[in-house]
A and B are shown apart, each in its own frame.
Chain A
């Protein structure tokens, strides 16, 4: 078995598992009782989208897709810190 068929087979088995996990995270984002649950689920969903972008980049042989993952990881961390700051001090900025 060549390398290309091995990689394509494994990736096409893992993509549906990732999509089901995204749908489960999305359910928690939509019905989360408090704001902290939603932010935690958005955090996990963003970090999993980074993996999904790299996997799609290998599957479609496109080198542009993995770059966007770096920005997405930094954005999820910024959302965490902003929400934590607001919950602690009830203010934004500074």
Chain B
């Protein structure tokens, strides 16, 4: 009975993650410049990689047909989800800061840039 609950919640999370991944990939192709594409990267990483990893961990815990190694697979998925939750925002923040400081990306449809008016990143 618990197996059905775990597998159902995991399948719902996996489908939500696949849809978020598709939306993030579409936004990565449609958005105009680098600083707008950061939002699509957030949707594609946190919604498209963190949620389905939790979902696959629950699926692996609940499915008997995988044998005794299902605990191992679920543990690997949980460790990967924790690493992604911590490392992905830190990495994209460092990349955005370095790009804004070195002026590597041109902000073409620019509405306002308060950081540049204040003198840039120190």
Contacts and interface: CB of A to CB of B under 8 A. Distances in A.
Interface of B: 3-4, 7, 11, 14-15, 17-19, 21-22, 24-26, 28-29, 34, 37-38, 41, 44-45, 48-49, 52-53, 56, 59-60, 62-67, 69-70, 72-73, 76-77, 79-80, 83-84, 87-88, 90-92, 94-95, 97-99, 101-102, 104-106
Contact of A21 (B7, B24, B83, B91): B24
Contacts of A34: 34, 99, 104-106
Contacts of A27: 29
A81 interface: yes
A58 B63 contact: yes
Interface string A58-83: 10010100110110011011001101
Contacts of B4: 3
Given A37-B105, A57-B73, A77-B91, A85 B98 contact: yes
A36 B122 CA distance: 20
A8 B101 CA distance: 48
Interface of A: 3-4, 6-7, 10-11, 13-14, 17-18, 20-22, 24-25, 27-28, 33-37, 39-41, 43-44, 47-48, 50-51, 54-55, 57-58, 61, 63, 66-67, 69-70, 73-74, 76-77, 80-81, 83-85, 87-88
Contacts of B80: 50, 54, 66, 69-70, 73
B39 to A, nearest CB: 11
Contacts of A76: 87, 91
Contacts of A21: 18, 21-22, 24-25, 44, 48
Given A34-B99, A37-B105, A51-B49, 17 more contacts: A4-B65, A10-B11, A11-B14, A14-B14, A14-B15, A25-B28, A43-B41, A43-B91, A47-B45, A50-B53, A54-B53, A55-B52, A63-B69, A63-B70, A70-B79, A70-B83, A80-B91
